[in-house]
């Protein structure tokens, strides 16, 4: 049985857990070790199963816990060389393995397929994690889906899917103009509508579970998300992550 959980999801920190009864990995660690430890405990997840940390890009809400968590758990951080070079020195782990987007890394029984994506970072990538005949995709921090993202999405049984903002709320909101432009650009984030269209157009018959993630506190709300995805109710098990705590642990 595969377990997945959003231990943190949002601009204040991101961390995604994927594992089975033997081993697990984390994708991104934008939280501190104390937070990680507490959230794993509350979720009933064993930190000793975690064998590696994979980093999608150098923004602090995805990497700020890497150095300490890698050291505390005595596990390597996996990231691209360009991401490593761009990251703050205080986030760089002592145990480090480099990969290039498009490569597959194997950790025990887990195959981690990396792929490039459109985001305002040096070398942004994301992951499709293959474990026990299940494929779990992490589709966050994507300005717009491209051919690679669409193809990887179509392989998944479950996804952490960004539904960051409602376009109307964003553009009528309090953010400065340059930040609104950045979020709504091709190197920003996925809106509710973009996430819905990605699912509607490219989900395969395998897809059963969607955990909507990286939801903006200021530029989105639960009612907007539910309305956008209402057409898909009953077709998928759709959950909404919280930026303030752990999601439900989902069993695949």
Query: What percent of the chain stands above pLDDT 70?
Result: 100
- For the residues 33-53, what does the mean pLDDT come to? 97
The CB-side HSE value for 242 (13 A sphere, CA atoms) comes to 7
pTM of the predicted model as reported, rounded to 2 decimal places = 0.97
- Radius of gyration for the chain, computed over Cα atoms and rounded to the nearest angstrom: 17
Q: Would you state the pLDDT for residue 127?
A: 98
The β-bridge partners of 136 are: 129, 158
Residue 242 in tokens: 């919280």
Rounded distance, CA 157 to CA 70, Å? 29
Q: Where are the beta strands (DSSP E) in the chain?
A: 3-8, 15-19, 24-27, 50-54, 77-79, 96-98, 104-107, 110-116, 125-131, 134-139, 158-162, 209-213, 237-240, 250-251
Instruction: Tell me the CATH number for domain 3-251.
Output: 3.60.15.10
- For the residues 205-218, what does the mean pLDDT come to? 97
- For the residues 13-41, what does the mean pLDDT come to? 97
Burial of 14 by CB count in 10 Å (0-12 exposed, 13-18 middle, 19+ buried)? Answer: buried
Q: Phi/psi of residue 8, each to 5°?
A: -160, 140
pLDDT per residue as tens digits for the range 55-73: 999 999 999 999 999 999 9
Contact 82, 94 (CB under 8 A): no
pLDDT per residue as tens digits for the range 125-161: 999 999 999 999 999 999 999 999 999 999 999 999 9
- For the residues 116-129, what does the mean pLDDT come to? 98
pLDDT per residue as tens digits for the range 186-196: 999 999 999 99
Rounded distance, CA 134 to CA 47, Å? 21
Q: Would you state the pLDDT for residue 195?
A: 98
pLDDT per residue as tens digits for the range 217-226: 999 999 999 9
Mean confidence (pLDDT) of the chain: 97
Q: Would you state the pLDDT for residue 41?
A: 97
- For the residues 105-133, what does the mean pLDDT come to? 98
First to last CA, the chain: 6
What's the pLDDT band for 210 if we cut at 50, 70, 90?
very high
């Amino acid at each position: 049985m595969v377990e997945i959980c959003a231990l943190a999801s949002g601009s204040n920190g991101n961390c995604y857990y994927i594992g089975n009864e033997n081993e697990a990995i984390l994708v991104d660690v934008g939280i501190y070790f104390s937070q990680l430890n507490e959230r794993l405990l509350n979720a009933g997840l064993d930190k000793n199963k975690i064998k590696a940390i994979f980093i999608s890009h150098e923004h602090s809400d995805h990497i700020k816990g890497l150095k300490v968590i890698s050291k505390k758990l005595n596990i390597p951080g996996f990231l691209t060389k360009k991401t490593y070079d761009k990251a703050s020195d205080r986030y760089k782990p002592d145990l480090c393995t480099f990969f290039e987007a498009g490569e597959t890394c194997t950790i025990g029984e887990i195959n981690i397929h990396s792929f490039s994506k459109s985001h305002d970072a040096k070398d942004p990538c994301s992951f499709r994690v293959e474990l026990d005949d299940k494929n779990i995709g992490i589709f966050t921090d994507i300005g717009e889906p491209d051919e690679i993202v669409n193809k990887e999405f179509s392989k998944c049984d479950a996804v952490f899917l960004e539904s960051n903002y409602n376009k109307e709320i964003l553009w009528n909101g309090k953010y400065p103009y340059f930040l609104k432009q950045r979020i709504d650009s091709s190197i920003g984030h996925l809106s509710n509508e973009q996430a819905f269209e990605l699912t509607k157009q490219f989900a395969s018959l395998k897809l059963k579970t969607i955990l909507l993630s990286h939801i903006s506190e200021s530029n989105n709300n639960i009612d907007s998300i539910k309305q956008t995805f209402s057409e898909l109710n009953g077709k998928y098990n759709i959950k909404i992550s919280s930026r303030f705590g752990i999601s439900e642990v989902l069993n695949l």
